Structure 1
Amino acid sequence: MKLAGRLLLTLVLFLCSACLTAHADVVDAPGANLEISLVTYGPGDIYWERFGHDAIELRDTASGEEVNFNYGVFNFEEKNFFLNFARGRMHYLIDAEATTDEEAFYRQAGRSITQQRLALTPQQAAALRDFLFWNLRPENAGYNYDYYVDNCTTRVRDALDRALGGIIKARLTTLPGGMTYRQQTVRLMSAQPWLMLTLDLGLGPYADQPLNAWQESFLPDELQKNLRNITVADSHGGAQPLVQSEQLLSPNHLAVPPATAPDLRIPLGIAGLLFAALLVVAWRQVSLLYALLGNLFLLMAGIAGLLMLALWTLTAHHSAWANANLLLFNPLAFVLLRPVWRARHGMGLSPFANGVLLLQLVALLISIGLHALPGIVQQNQPWILFALPCWLALAWTIRKASRH
């Protein structure tokens, strides 16, 4: 009976152990059983989806469980969400979801899904898993989002780099990037022209700094591409690609962003010339239309200037600070609203209004002269080409009216 009891106990323990192994998941799976993949989702149609998205997938090869970790969760219902958004203090979260559930959403939306299986050692895989679950705790889940330097992709990039001991950063910082923050933004937002123009107008010189591949990996498709250039040590002391395999799990069914940023100089330059010509013709033929067009331009210039000034002085949007477009569009435009209206009746400028007009023309010259300076210069040539003929036409017609 004693021997039989021991045998029965051993059998029970064996069965329990087998059951535990069969139901183990990524939380407690040994590192040797973990497969790590970068999953990249193509850009969507909604403006906040235009940059694309990505996630780290952990798969337990024993149980088959697959979990995706992503850093792109935000909540419109958060207290003061839109005020915080305007001030550049956006709060994002990491989230974990079953791979099948998350991928189903992107398949239904028609966005591409690409999986890159990565060559991490069992120790690195376990360390990454432990970090992600630590990061998932409520006290660690939130972070202050920044479009360019701390977003859902840079967090994925940094987590992978941390697990690999800094190999990714060491390699990518030696490689040049292909575009600037501005060029990437304009390229990806080109499907929504008004939003694209608004963002381009609002970005300051920070957006025009040359990037290396590490910095440009703020975008999912750039990180996906750049990981192909990384090699890691293999088990025999040699080197192997970090990306062991790459598979398109679901094709793209949406419009693809252009490969390069559109050149805004020609369309904005033509728009500026047409508006200036219309202003001059209206001044000669239909004085009321001239006053309406002139005031429309001045209102837009003044409002744009107020917004750019607010972004610089009142928010944490550092990519909008020190915006040289303030030399082209600024609140001084409001001062000229009445003089333009009076010009239709042939009434001259007051000394103050004349001084403001001269100051604006000097600001135009300064904005052009900035491009002769060394170092990083804000690439706002399209807005100079738009604003210059408009301001010159306004100045010419107002001064002409003063002489009548």
Structure 2
Amino acid sequence: MIKALQFFFLFTMATGFSQSLPLSQDATVSVITIGPGSNLNDAFGHNAIRVKSRFSDITYDFGRYDFDAPGFYLNFARGKLNYLQGKSNYNHFIAIYRNENRTIKEQQLQLTAAEKQNLYDYLETNYKNNQGAYLYDFFYDNCATKIRDAIETTLAGNLIYNLPDHYKEQTFRQLIDANLHWNTWGSFGIDIALGSIIDRTATSREQLFLPEYVNQNFETATLKDSNQKLVINSKTIYTKKGHNENKTSSFLTSPLLVMILVGGFIIFITFKDFKNKVRSKWLDLALFITTGLIGVLLFLLWFATDHTGTAYNYNILWAFPLSLFCVLQIIKTVPKKWFIAYIKFSILMLCLLVMHWTIGVQRFAPALIPLLLALVVRYVFLLKHYKQAAV
């Protein structure tokens, strides 16, 4: 008898842990949207799902990661880092973002009791399965698209997106730019690291990779079977106060000013070299090594990682890896003929960059313009200098 009771107890416990508890009849499901923060990693906001019942109040979100995971930085660089699902007490979750002074909005969804239970079961089961580990992609599989996909799956084709009044077609890069000022290091780095693939126009559904667009599109969405609105009630839980400090917003430390100073310095040294009929080898070494190393990084991001956004990156037209092989020729007073041809090739590459930019194949960082102009000036000077040296 005792063994039978023990078995029954263990069976009951195992069943309870392997299945989600049934929600109460008055349970509600909401989508939480967090506004942008002051740092680059939270500049695009965040989304979560809130499941509130008589016995619990829980938020589920996606996009967390474990810094202590083996090979964290290497996997992050290669695009092979697993991101995790989060599960938090609602009050604790909201307190975090209130303390960060970020706007918090909530949209209660019109779901049937069965749909609420199915969504809750999915979130619970997914969390128990290795915290819902998944291969993160900024544009196609992130904290916002996970919320979108979970709601779409729950509604099983019963969801219709109606375009908001202010909707307009935009590329992925334009959508990013709406959250980052172009003259910040975050925007500058993104424009260099990400390729022409993000200059493609995003579909209305693809725009939901940004948390705020999840909020906007859910607000106008309707249910196919009843033509009723998906969102029953919308409210703002917390409104950001004042403005968060953004240290990168100062022009004195901005990419544009730095590139103006660097480009101006290159042109100044080039003018002095031209006037004195000499060549500052140290400057050419610095330029070719720097652009070559940047080119190697861009090449690896393009071909050696799983990041979808780093493919077809034509920044490689000004930062070419083969520049590293020119170091020995730069040291020489009279280089090999192939090095002269390479300089002409580099000028041609810069012309191709302008063409790509003009016709819209890829948009480059505006702050790069002073540096690109300086490179053209230096390359033309090198051609004339070597031509005179050969006479």
> Structure 2 CA distance, aligned partners of 1:209 and 1:172?
19
Residue aligned with 2:218, SS = helix
Contact 1:181 1:208 in 2 (8 A): yes
Question: Deviation of residue 273 (structure 1)?
Answer: 6.1
| 2:23 matched residue in structure 1 | 29
Counterpart among 107, 123, 126 of residue 114 in structure 2: 123
Contact 1:92 1:143 in 2 (8 A): yes
Residue aligned with 2:209, SS = coil
Give the gaps of 5 or more residues in structure 1: 1-25, 258-263
| 1:314 matched residue in structure 2 | 304
Alignment-mate amino acid for residue 367 of structure 1: L
> Structure 2 CA distance, aligned partners of 1:37 and 1:178?
28
Question: Deviation of residue 81 (structure 1)?
Answer: 0.7
193-202 or 50-59, larger mean C-alpha shift: 193-202
Residue aligned with 2:28, SS = strand
> Structure 1 CA distance, aligned partners of 2:90 and 2:278?
63
1:136 aligns with 2:127: yes
| 1:146 matched residue in structure 2 | 137
Q: Aligned pair in 2 of structure 1 residues 49, 369: CA closer, same or farther (>3 Å)? A: closer
Alignment-mate amino acid for residue 365 of structure 1: C
Q: Aligned pair in 2 of structure 1 residues 337, 286: CA closer, same or farther (>3 Å)? A: farther
Alignment-mate amino acid for residue 381 of structure 2: T
1:255 aligns with 2:244: yes
1:245 aligns with 2:233: yes
| 2:45 matched residue in structure 1 | 52
1:278 aligns with 2:268: yes
1:302 aligns with 2:286: no
| 1:67 matched residue in structure 2 | 58
Contact 2:260 2:371 in 1 (8 A): no
Per-residue CA shift, 1:39-95, capped at 9, x if unaligned? Answer: 1111222322122111000111x44x3110111221000010101000001211112
Residue aligned with 1:166, SS = coil
Contact 2:267 2:378 in 1 (8 A): no
> Structure 2 CA distance, aligned partners of 1:265 and 1:73?
30
Residue aligned with 1:100, SS = helix
> Structure 1 CA distance, aligned partners of 2:177 and 2:149?
25
Q: Aligned pair in 2 of structure 1 residues 176, 348: CA closer, same or farther (>3 Å)? A: farther
| 1:364 matched residue in structure 2 | 350
1:379 aligns with 2:363: yes
Matches within 5 A, 1:169-180: 171=162, 178-180=169-171
Matches within 5 A, 1:172-191: 178-190=169-181
Contact 2:162 2:217 in 1 (8 A): no
> Structure 1 CA distance, aligned partners of 2:38 and 2:277?
43
Residue aligned with 1:110, SS = coil
Question: Deviation of residue 207 (structure 1)?
Answer: 0.6
Per-residue CA shift, 1:162-190, capped at 9, x if unaligned? Answer: 112234476569x9655322223344343
> Structure 2 CA distance, aligned partners of 1:161 and 1:172?
16
Counterpart among 317, 323, 326 of residue 316 in structure 2: 326
Kindly, what percent of the aligned residue pairs are identical? 23
Alignment-mate amino acid for residue 228 of structure 2: Q
> Structure 2 CA distance, aligned partners of 1:387 and 1:197?
13
244-253 or 264-273, larger mean C-alpha shift: 264-273
* Bigger Rg, which one: 1
> Structure 1 CA distance, aligned partners of 2:278 and 2:142?
50
1:393 aligns with 2:383: no
Counterpart among 313, 332, 336 of residue 350 in structure 1: 336
Q: Aligned pair in 2 of structure 1 residues 34, 330: CA closer, same or farther (>3 Å)? A: same
Q: Aligned pair in 2 of structure 1 residues 317, 113: CA closer, same or farther (>3 Å)? A: same
| 2:187 matched residue in structure 1 | 196
Per-residue CA shift, 1:102-135, capped at 9, x if unaligned? Answer: 1111111111111111111222212211211121
Q: Aligned pair in 2 of structure 1 residues 183, 270: CA closer, same or farther (>3 Å)? A: farther
Q: Aligned pair in 2 of structure 1 residues 51, 364: CA closer, same or farther (>3 Å)? A: same
Question: Deviation of residue 269 (structure 1)?
Answer: 8.9
| 1:112 matched residue in structure 2 | 103
> Structure 2 CA distance, aligned partners of 1:70 and 1:310?
31
Contact 1:71 1:92 in 2 (8 A): yes
Question: Deviation of residue 287 (structure 1)?
Answer: 8.6
> Structure 2 CA distance, aligned partners of 1:100 and 1:140?
21
Per-residue CA shift, 1:147-176, capped at 9, x if unaligned? Answer: 110011110111011112234476569x96
199-208 or 130-139, larger mean C-alpha shift: 130-139
> Structure 1 CA distance, aligned partners of 2:258 and 2:361?
19
361-370 or 315-324, larger mean C-alpha shift: 361-370
> Structure 2 CA distance, aligned partners of 1:231 and 1:154?
18
Residue aligned with 2:375, SS = helix
Alignment-mate amino acid for residue 135 of structure 1: N
Contact 1:157 1:223 in 2 (8 A): yes
Question: Deviation of residue 217 (structure 1)?
Answer: 0.8
Q: Aligned pair in 2 of structure 1 residues 246, 292: CA closer, same or farther (>3 Å)? A: farther
> Structure 1 CA distance, aligned partners of 2:131 and 2:329?
57
> Structure 2 CA distance, aligned partners of 1:195 and 1:276?
25
Question: Deviation of residue 209 (structure 1)?
Answer: 0.7
